[in-house]
Structure 1
Amino acid sequence: MTQTPQTLCHALLDAARKAGADSADAMAAEGSSLSIEVRDGTLEHAERSEGVDIGLRVFVGQRQAQVSSSDTRTETLTAMAERAVAMAREAPEDPYAGLADAEQLAQSWDLAALEMADPSAEPAPDQLQQDALTAEAACAAIEGITQVQSAAAGYGRHDIHLAASNGFSGGYARTSRSVSCVGIAGTGSGMERDYDGDSRTFQSDLRAAGDVGHTAGTRAIERINSRRPKTGAYPVLFDERISSSLIGHLLSAANGAAIARGSSWLKDGLGTQILPDSLSVIEDPHRARMSGSRPFDGEGLPTQKRAIVEDGVLTGWTMDLASARKLGMESTGNAARGIGSVPSPSNWNIALTQGTRTRAELIRDMGTGLLVTSMIGSTINPNTGDYSRGASGFWIENGEIAHPVNEVTIAGNLLDMLKTLVPANDARTYLSRVVPSLLLEGMTLAGE
């Protein structure tokens, strides 16, 4: 009989009960992926992978253990369960560990409305290769491009199931389709590179490969003759490509696990103003065709739309069951997990309120400052929010782009930075994180 992710999960639960577990949950994922890379007009690398992975978490009292495998034979399932129970008996007690109560579980969901998987056929390898070749050719055609470092296209599909001894059982399929390109301009020490890419759930939504390659090449050309800016305090505009990293720092600080440990610069921020009062951060795991969408979380709880920040005020933490129990609160349905890992809090689809002005208008109004288009490295103090990152982009003089810049460090404190955010109106609404370009006042720049 064919073993589906669902049947594998229930076989693991049966094995866990027989091995002496008081309770258990199991995950199984069956998937395939195909990736193609080209170079100089010919195939550089092709890789296809297929497989099934299974994971089992068992509880013996308040002790838990997690095991995983890619071997689905019956004897392996039995051995996994016996090993997991033996490990749990030796593990320290965790008063916050345990499955959800039956009344907490998701009871029904509409997978069709979420459109998490493209029903069309898997693309043939030559179709992916053609996309990669088209992107490479479009990039190479840009005057000044000396080399296309990489051009690639890929496809993946995964069928995932979660089941637990508390009665939960549910699963879904997810697909992804992508194309990317990296161009290099200039020569010697003056070489610069930049990229573009797109990844979608549905093939029909994917941007044209030629557009991706052309954009990658254009961006690389724009970076030629970069120089270091003067050290000082200036307004900084985070381009839409990288602005979501700022909101990502906020989300990390509002993570229930960090709050429970007391290791967050937002630990005393609940109910306080952390963004301008015109801005909200909304999480919506039910957006159609989004990579962050899901009907239930990694513990079987229903996912829900919620405001993490509403009118600038932090309204709640992002929690799984364990962090919620530690904080004396209720889970927000944000447990994420891998096949071989226990649940931990994570965010789904995020959107920051967009502004009314274009990016060009923000550039015009900022006078002299820095437009950041890429970042490297990161020094973020999780306890204080002190922020320091390497950056490159473009110098703004008199409200216009003057020249490209690199080798600059931007620094500040996230508590102060986030309160000055001015959003543009250029967020890409088809992304899982919808965040526009963001202008911040008075950051410290370390250049020459």
Structure 2
Amino acid sequence: MDTIKSNFEKIANLARQDGAKVEMLVSGGEELSIGYQKKKLDSFESTQSQMAGIRVILGASQGYAYTENLNDESLLRTYRDALANAKTVQKQGATVSLMAPKAITPMSNLYNVQDVPMNKKLDIARLLEEQCLEKDPRISAVPYSGYSEVSSFKRILNSEGMDQEFKQNYYSGYAYPLAKDGESSKMDGEGFFARSFDDIKVSEVTEKGVKKAVSRLNATKLTTGNYAVVIDRDQFSTVLQMIYSYFSAKQVDEGKSLFKGKLGQKIASDKFQLLDDPFEARGTATRPFDDEGAPSQKTVLFENGVLKNLLTNLEYAHKMNLPHTSHGRRSPASQLEIAPTNLVVAKGTKSLQDLLASQTKVVHLTEFAGGLHAGFKESTGDFSMPAEGFLYENGKCVGPIDQFVMSGNVLELLRDIEDLGNDYNKPGSSMICPDVLIKSLSFAGA
């Protein structure tokens, strides 16, 4: 018996009597995490979770509530809480709609549960640390390493007859070794993301992780000045995170987006092409429908530097007379927002070495040391962020550099894109990027 459906039908009948519309988002799954430290099993955690979030619509007003108990009494109580919240909001405006049922593109490749013996999983976790320690005598420890696997589901039901569900599973892991040479110590690492256990390549992960950590030893300070910079394919995602929220039609409507009034305008380099692709299997935000149940679709965001589209959910597509792009985003415990799925920057034709040899001096930026919180101002697009990397002169690596701050404005950075690399970052991110050459940025160093 489908108890989730039968329990929701009771709620939908109550909503009709109350003159309301109702939607229920149910998600949950299982996760296993294993970690080794000093060649001994350090952590082993297996968890299960499930949660239901109810959204009630009364005209223009919306109310939310959630529960981790999916029995009928708890769900009915959660509905009443959401209804009370909707009555409290008393928002004026156009009636908010729920998504009517529509056919979705099946994505069976997202769910491929395999019967893998536990000893093999333990081996992966053990080898992630062990191989790093064995590959180079300068590796003194592996402070962060681990293996995990996730199996999850999401289901959406509403009083318009919607009932959609999808499942996915994946395997992931990482190893971040600490390298030491005299007074110099640096940590870096590598990870993996695989939808099949057979695709896990531990030796590749540990070899790359060790190489990255060791290569950063004995870094020197960068001389203050303006430099051409190649933002590494694994780091350009930080730039996309800066503009992530600007695509939301809700943010534009509220005056919080720097893209307000710029739809259809050229605001980036001709070289910059950006696609939102919920079907991209390398990405972690892959899904057949959004969190309102709307079928997923690809959306061109930038084409030859022109801002082509904003992202919408059902409400803001109607409110702002924009195409409905199926980008409603929420968890059972949160309110409905708008957010991208997998952001894919189109590749160029140049190798990384070609980009690094394109100017007399080029900084290869391989790490934003503090992330966005270290110095990005969303309201203006200005950033001033600590970073690390390597200095190249005439295409040859001079050596690692650190203790510098890169400053600029994210919209100016997009306009100053000179070229892009011909290879993507590894799977396991919702932001799929090549190496990107920027004409000039300001660096504060020694």
TM-score (norm 2): 0.92
Are the counterparts in 2 of residues 380 and 386 from structure 1 also a CA contact under 8 Å?
Answer: yes
1:391 is displaced (CA, Å) by 0.5
Q: Supply the AA of the counterpart residue of 1:75.
A: E
Other-structure match for 2:357: 364
Q: Which residue of 1 aligns with 2:279?
A: 286
* Secondary structure of 2:270 counterpart: coil
Out of 154, 160, 174, the position equivalent to 2:154 is 160
What residue number does 1:333 align with?
326
Where does residue 445 of structure 1 map in the other structure?
A: 443
Instruction: Flag the 1:88–1:181 CA change in 2: closer, same or farther, 3 A.
Output: same
Structure 2 counterparts to residues 107-126 of structure 1, below 5 A:
107-112=103-108, 115-121=109-115, 123-126=116-119
* Runs ≥4 residues deviating over 6 A: none
Q: Distance in 1 between matches of 2:132 and 2:259?
A: 43
- The alignment partner of 2:221 has SS state of coil
Match of 2:433 in 1: 435
Distance in 1 between residues matched to 2:329 and 2:99, nearest whole Å: 18
How far apart, CA to CA, are the structure 1 residues paired with 2:50 and 2:182? 46
Give 3-state SS (helix, strand or coil) of 1:365's partner. coil
1:211 aligns with 2:204: yes
Shift of 1:270: 1.2
Deviation at 1:338, TM superposition (A): 0.5
Instruction: Tell me the amino acid that sits aligned with residue 227 of structure 2.
Output: Y
In structure 2, stretches of 5+ residues that fail to align are none
Q: C-alpha separation between the residues in 1 aligned to 2:206 and 2:313?
A: 40
Between the aligned partners of 1:101 and 1:69, the Cα distance in structure 2 is 22
Q: How many residues align?
A: 440
CA displacement 1:309-357 (0-9 Å, x = unmatched): 1122110101112333442323211111101112211112222221111
Conserved? CA contact 1:139–1:215, under 8 Å: no
Q: Structure 1: which amino acid aligns with 2:443?
A: L
1: CA distance, partners of 2:118 / 2:15: 41
Change (3 A) 1:311 1:15: same
2:141 to 127, 130, 147: 147
| Greater mean alpha carbon deviation, residues 279-288 or residues 69-78 | 279-288
Q: CA deviation at 1:288?
A: 4.2
CA contact (8 A) 2:25 2:52 kept: yes
- TM-superposed deviation, 1:10: 4.2
Q: 8 Å contact 1:57–1:84 — kept in the other structure? A: yes
Cα deviation digits, residues 415-442 of structure 1 (max 9, x gap) = 2211121211121475543210111111
Out of 134-143 and 151-160, give the one that drifted further.
Answer: 134-143
Cα deviation per residue 1:9-41 (whole Å; 9 max; x = unaligned)? 4454445456x3510100112311100011111
User: Structure 1 residues 446 and 2 mapped into 2: Cα distance closer, same or farther (>3 Å)?
Assistant: same
* Gap regions ≥5 residues in structure 1: none
* Aligned residue type for 1:49: T
Farther-moved stretch of structure 1 (32-41 vs 420-429): 420-429
Corresponding residue for residue 423 of structure 1? 420
Cα distance 1:134–1:170, how it changes in 2: closer, same or farther (>3 A)? Answer: same
The question of 1:201 aligning with 2:198 is answered no
Deviations 1:195-233 (A, max 9, x none): 110122332333x11221221111111111122211111
1:262 to 242, 251, 255: 255
Which amino acid is 1:69 matched to? T
Q: Which residue of 1 aligns with 2:40?
A: 42
Counterparts in 2 of 1:253 and 1:86: CA distance versus 1, 3 Å: closer
Task: Report if the CA contact (8 A) 1:364-1:400 is conserved.
Answer: yes
Measure how far apart 1:256 and its partner are: 1.5
Aligned to 2:97: 99
Report what 2:177 is aligned to: 183
SS in 1 for 2:171: strand
Q: Is the 8 A contact 1:135 1:180 kept in 2?
A: yes
Note the aligned Cα RMSD (angstroms).
2.2
Cα gap change, 1:6/1:428 in structure 2, threshold over 3 Å: closer, same or farther? farther
- SS of structure 1 residue aligned to 2:357: helix
2: CA distance between counterparts of 1:405 and 1:136?
A: 27
Q: State the 1:291 CA deviation.
A: 2.7
Q: How far off its partner does 1:97 sit?
A: 6.2
Equivalent residue runs for 1:293-304 within 5 Å? 293-304=286-297
Partner of 2:69: 71
Residue 420 of structure 2 aligns to which amino acid in structure 1? P
Letter in 1 for 2:308: T
Give the Å deviation of 1:79: 1.4
SS at match of 1:135: helix
Residue in structure 1 matching 2:389, options 388, 393, 397: 393
Paired position in structure 1 for 2:223 = 230
Question: C-alpha distance in 2, partners of 1:173/1:8?
Answer: 21
Q: Deviations over 1:222-263 (max 9, x none)?
A: 111122211111111111111122233334322212211112
* Structure-1 separation of matches of 2:240 and 2:85: 39
**What is the CA–CA distance in structure 1 between the aligned matches of 2:41 and 2:92, rounded to whole Å?**
52
| More divergent stretch after superposition (427-436 vs 404-413) | 427-436
**How many Å apart are 1:94 and its aligned residue?**
4.9
Distance 1:6 1:362, change over 3 A: farther
Q: Quick one: distance in 2 between partners of 1:315 and 1:92?
A: 35
> Identity over aligned residues, as a percent?
23
Superposed CA offset, 1:373-402 (max 9, x none):
111143333233212211111122232111
**TM-score under structure 1 normalisation?**
0.92
Q: 1:220/1:94 Cα in 2 relative to 1: closer, same or farther (>3 Å)?
A: farther
Report the Cα distance in structure 1 between the residues aligned to 2:13 and 2:202, rounded to whole angstroms. Answer: 48
Query: Match for 2:423: what amino acid?
Result: D
Mapped to 1, the partners of 2:282 and 2:389 lie a distance apart of 32
Give me the whole-angstrom Cα distance separating, in 2, the residues matched to 1:188 and 1:290: 40
Contact 2:312 2:338 in 1 (8 A): yes
